[in-house]
């Protein structure tokens, strides 16, 4: 799918005035921006949710479901069949229309601006593009109390930081009941770190949304940390919108950490939001603590197998060289090659054992192992 250039060029993202008309043109701002995030096991949950949304919903629904690059999403057609609303992949610059479901395309972030959408290839967050946090963050930044954030089934914790931002800006937070989620990590992490308003089965969330979107949105909260968080939000939304992360000075909003980015090996800055600790590098990649742990422990195995591969190649090259020396009658040189090959093979054995024993960890697995 090709994406057209929008009229966004020349605009400054992060307009701070919040009007009193909703996306449907009503003079009273209502909760008319619904953002939904899901990963593994999320398609079934979204089908159930969408099947209960009424026709003529006076709100726009935005969905991020983790996809691998190069895979055409079937989610718009699935959600279109599941309920009464039209679902589609938007293009960059498309206007926001109520009663529609907008699904982030593969390998693109979906962001919300005032009255229109951005479809971008900004840096990956939590190793995904599209990612849930950029959508939630952009919606919360622009629409504040008008936003309803929903976290459904998924592994790890993408969406937790975004849902925290929705709550900070006065929005409504909803999480799927973890016991019914196919993968409960995303709902559990959200519940642990965000003051969630509702915890419901997916089908009941659909019914609840039909009620909430007709409610008047509250006023923007005035909190001491609002200005600091507002500026940080603006910079992070701009990064997702393909602005140069280094120019956005995101490193000024946290503390330098001893960790490096699993994507580009850049230095990671540690950011704190309530009880949430997350990381972003100077090129723009972002990670939750859980995603960073998962990525680092996954890379341990990758690096071990890299070392084993090099040692195996060394063994094969030395054996081949020894055979050539032997054929040429240089038995001493051949013996040296065979001895070095045997030594290299021995050195690979503990590495092979370590690779086979390596665990790719997550916080949920650690809690389960600890019995908590």
Active site residue 326: no
275 catalytic? Reply is no
Alpha-carbon distance values, 249 to 29, 243, 255 (Å): 33, 11, 12
Distance from C-alpha of 158 to C-alpha of 362, rounded to nearest angstrom: 13
Active-site residue flag, 183: no
Q: Which two tokens stand for residue 58?
A: 């006076």
Q: Which of 218, 171, 220 has its CA nearest to residue 198?
A: 171
* String of DSSP letters for 125-149: BTTBSS-HHHHHHHHHHHHGGGEEE
Rounded to whole angstroms, the Cα distance separating 229 from 247 reads: 18
Residue 188 tokens read as 């559990």
Query: Residues 158, 183, 235, 290: which is the catalytic one?
Result: 158
Q: For the purposes of burial, counting CB atoms within 10 Å of the CB of 26, is it exposed (0-12), middle (13-18) or buried (19 or more)?
A: middle
Query: Are 85 and 101 in contact, with CB atoms under 8 Å apart?
Result: yes
Quote the longest CA-to-CA distance of the chain. 95
Which pairing describes strands 172-176 and 255-260: parallel, antiparallel, or unpaired?
unpaired
> CA separation (Å) from 184 to 38, 61, 84, 193, 198?
11, 23, 28, 14, 16
Element (H, E) at 101: strand 100-103
Sign of CA dihedral 282, 285, 291, 295: negative
Catalytic residue among 66, 108, 109, 285: 66
Q: Rounded to whole angstroms, how far apart are CA atoms 245 and 201? A: 38
Q: Which of 32, 39, 285, 290 is catalytic?
A: 39
The residues with which 174 forms a beta bridge, in sequence order, are 150, 198
Catalytic residues: 39, 66, 158
């Amino acid at each position: 799918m090709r994406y057209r250039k929008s009229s966004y060029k020349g605009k400054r993202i992060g307009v701070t005035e919040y009007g009193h008309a909703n996306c449907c043109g009503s003079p009273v701002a209502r909760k008319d921006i619904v953002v939904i995030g899901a990963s593994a096991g999320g398609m079934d949950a979204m089908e159930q949710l969408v099947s209960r949304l009424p026709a003529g919903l006076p709100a726009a629904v935005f969905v991020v479901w983790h996809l691998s690059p190069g895979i055409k999403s079937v989610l718009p057609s699935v959600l279109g069949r599941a309920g009464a609303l039209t679902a589609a992949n938007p293009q960059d610059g498309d206007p926001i229309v109520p009663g529609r479901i907008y699904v982030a395309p593969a390998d693109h972030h979906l962001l919300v601006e005032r009255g229109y959408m951005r479809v971008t290839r900004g840096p990956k967050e939590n190793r995904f593009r599209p990612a849930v946090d950029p959508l939630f963050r952009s919606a919360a930044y622009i629409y504040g109390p008008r936003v309803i954030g929903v976290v459904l089934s998924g592994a790890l914790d993408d969406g937790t930081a975004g849902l925290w931002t929705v709550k900070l800006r006065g929005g409504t937070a909803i999480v799927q009941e973890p016991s019914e989620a196919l993968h409960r990590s995303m709902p559990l992490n959200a519940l642990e770190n965000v003051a969630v308003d509702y915890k419901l089965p997916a089908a009941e969330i659909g019914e609840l949304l039909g009620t909430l979107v007709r409610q008047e949105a509250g006023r923007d909260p005035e909190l001491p940390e609002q200005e600091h968080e507002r500026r940080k939000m603006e910079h992070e939304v701009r990064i997702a919108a393909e602005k140069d992360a280094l120019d956005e000075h995101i490193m000024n909003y946290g503390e330098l950490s001893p960790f490096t980015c699993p994507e580009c090996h850049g230095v990671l800055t540690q950011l704190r939001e309530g009880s949430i600790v997350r990381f972003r590098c100077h090129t723009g990649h972002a990670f939750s603590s859980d995603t960073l742990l998962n990525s680092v422990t996954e890379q341990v195995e990758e690096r071990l197998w890299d070392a084993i591969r090099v040692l195996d190649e060394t063994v094969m090259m030395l054996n081949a060289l020894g055979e050539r020396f032997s054929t040429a009658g240089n038995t001493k040189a051949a013996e040296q090659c065979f001895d070095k090959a045997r030594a290299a093979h021995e050195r690979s054995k503990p590495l092979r054992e370590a690779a086979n024993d390596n665990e790719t960890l997550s916080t949920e697995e650690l809690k389960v192992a600890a019995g908590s």
